[in-house]
């Protein structure tokens, strides 16, 4: 088995920036990877849902992974390589491993809605063939099928299945998985920013996060406080981030986070069709939230001088 990754802390689900011709803007992508690494994140997750993987070709997918691997020095790169086609997921996983990825994130097969035995076969096929730590990603709102706790626990016994990304919104099920995998080399990460603090409280180890693209320092401080047991501080930071967490899901991810990052000057507000830029009715509110967070950060920095 390959060396383990410490799946504790904050792993931003990166956006994929595009230029005016909808080509990948690799210069901006690498600058963003370096920005996030400098902010103290614990790893990076390119080419997931937030990275618009559904509109990238396989070659582009691998090129993004290569670019992020090249850009960072000390943090692991966890490549999104899932598909509803097991052969395609295997191909993307193998190519991403060859491109230098340190681990893999695999969304469960979508649209064709396999049974639980099919999910087990799907994940085991990739885990048997690719010797990298792999995270099983449960997001039934996108896939149409949930990964049941029994399935997650069974997959956790595979030496290359190292974690579970929880985006089902069911804290009871998430808590059951953390309970039943306690003592195993298996991590449970929140896949829903609004539930990161509750997930850590029931035994989760961190988050694969959208909000961390915009507020990496605050997100790292929140998760770090929770992991250290300082829930008063973690709750305070969770509440500070709450308005932004909600704003980033006013429309389908990554529409709002691309708009937020454009407002912060991190990338252009360009998405590939069929995604469209954030509706005008949400832009003013998003800008006000970002301004409030910046003002608060500036005041704290001044107070520390």
56-88 pLDDT, tens per residue? Answer: 999 999 999 999 999 999 999 999 999 999 999
User: DSSP secondary structure string, 77-98?
Assistant: BEEE---SSHHHHHHHHHHHHH
Q: Domain of 36: which CATH number?
A: 3.20.20.70
123 is catalytic: no
Residue 165 binned pLDDT confidence (cut-offs 50, 70, 90): very high
Residue 273 binned pLDDT confidence (cut-offs 50, 70, 90): very high
pLDDT higher than threshold 60 for residue 1: no
Kindly report, residue by residue over 94-152, the tens digit of the pLDDT: 999 999 999 999 999 999 999 999 999 999 999 999 999 999 999 999 999 999 999 99
> Does residue 142 sit within a domain?
yes
Task: Cite the DSSP H helix spans in 6-54.
Answer: 26-38
Distances (CA, A) of 108 to 62, 192, 272: 20, 16, 23
Edge-to-edge strands, sheet with 134-138: 9-12, 206-209, 187-190, 161-166, 134-138, 103-107, 78-80
> Does residue 235 sit within a domain?
no
Residue 2 binned pLDDT confidence (cut-offs 50, 70, 90): very low
pLDDT higher than threshold 60 for residue 302: no
> Does residue 246 sit within a domain?
no
User: Mean pLDDT, to the nearest integer, of 164-181?
Assistant: 97
> Does residue 15 sit within a domain?
yes
CA–CA distance, 144 with 174 (Å, rounded to integer)? 18
> Does residue 268 sit within a domain?
no
Q: What mean pLDDT value characterizes the chain? A: 96
Query: Where would I find the beta strands (DSSP E) of the chain?
Result: 9-12, 78-80, 103-107, 134-138, 161-166, 187-190, 206-209
Half-sphere CA count of 83, side-chain side, radius 13 A: 17
> Does residue 211 sit within a domain?
yes
Query: Do 190 and 177 touch, CB atoms closer than 8 A?
Result: no
Q: What percent of the chain has a predicted confidence (pLDDT) above 90? A: 95
CA–CA distance, 142 with 47 (Å, rounded to integer)? 16
Structure tokens at 230: 């300082």
> Does residue 262 sit within a domain?
no
pLDDT higher than threshold 70 for residue 245: yes
258 is catalytic: no
Amino acid 305: pLDDT? 55
Domain range spanning residue 123? 9-229
Nearest to 62 by CA among 38, 26, 37: 26
What total of structural domains would you count in the chain? Answer: 1
Residue from 123, 137, 164, 258 carrying the catalytic annotation: 137
Kindly report, residue by residue over 4-27, the tens digit of the pLDDT: 799 999 999 999 999 999 999 999
Residue 192 binned pLDDT confidence (cut-offs 50, 70, 90): very high
Residue from 123, 164, 165, 258 carrying the catalytic annotation: 165
> Does residue 305 sit within a domain?
no
Structure tokens at 201: 């409280």
Name the residue with tokens 């006013």.
250
């Amino acid at each position: 088995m390959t060396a383990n990754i410490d799946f504790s802390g904050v792993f931003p689900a990166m956006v994929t920036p595009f230029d005016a011709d909808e080509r990948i803007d690799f210069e901006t992508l690498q600058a963003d990877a370096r920005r996030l690494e400098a902010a103290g994140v614990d790893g990076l997750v390119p080419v997931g849902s937030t990275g618009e993987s559904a509109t990238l070709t396989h070659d582009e997918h691998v090129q993004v992974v290569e670019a992020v691997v090249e850009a960072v020095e000390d943090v692991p790169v966890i490549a999104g390589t899932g598909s509803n086609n097991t052969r395609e997921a295997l191909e993307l996983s193998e190519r991403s491993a060859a491109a230098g990825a340190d681990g893999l994130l695999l969304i469960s097969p979508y649209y064709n809605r396999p049974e639980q035995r099919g999910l087990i076969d799907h994940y085991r096929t990739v885990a048997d063939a690719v010797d990298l730590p792999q995270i099983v990603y449960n997001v039934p709102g996108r896939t149409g099928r949930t990964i049941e706790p029994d399935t997650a626990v069974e997959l956790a016994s595979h030496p290359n299945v190292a974690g579970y990304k929880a985006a089902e919104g069911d804290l009871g099920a998430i808590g059951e998985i953390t309970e039943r995998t306690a003592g195993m080399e298996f991590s449970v990460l929140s896949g829903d920013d609004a539930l990161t603090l509750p997930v850590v409280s029931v035994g989760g180890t961190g988050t694969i996060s959208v909000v961390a693209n915009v507020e990496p320092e605050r997100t790292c401080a929140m998760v770090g406080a929770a992991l250290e047991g300082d829930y008063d501080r973690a709750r305070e930071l969770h509440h500070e981030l709450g308005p932004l967490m909600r704003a980033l899901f006013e429309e389908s991810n990554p529409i709002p986070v691309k708009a937020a990052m454009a407002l912060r000057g991190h990338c252009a507000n360009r998405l590939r069709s069929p995604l469209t830029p954030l509706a005008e009715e949400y832009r003013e509110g998003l800008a006000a939230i970002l301004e409030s967070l910046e003002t608060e950060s500036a005041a704290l920095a001044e107070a520390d001088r």
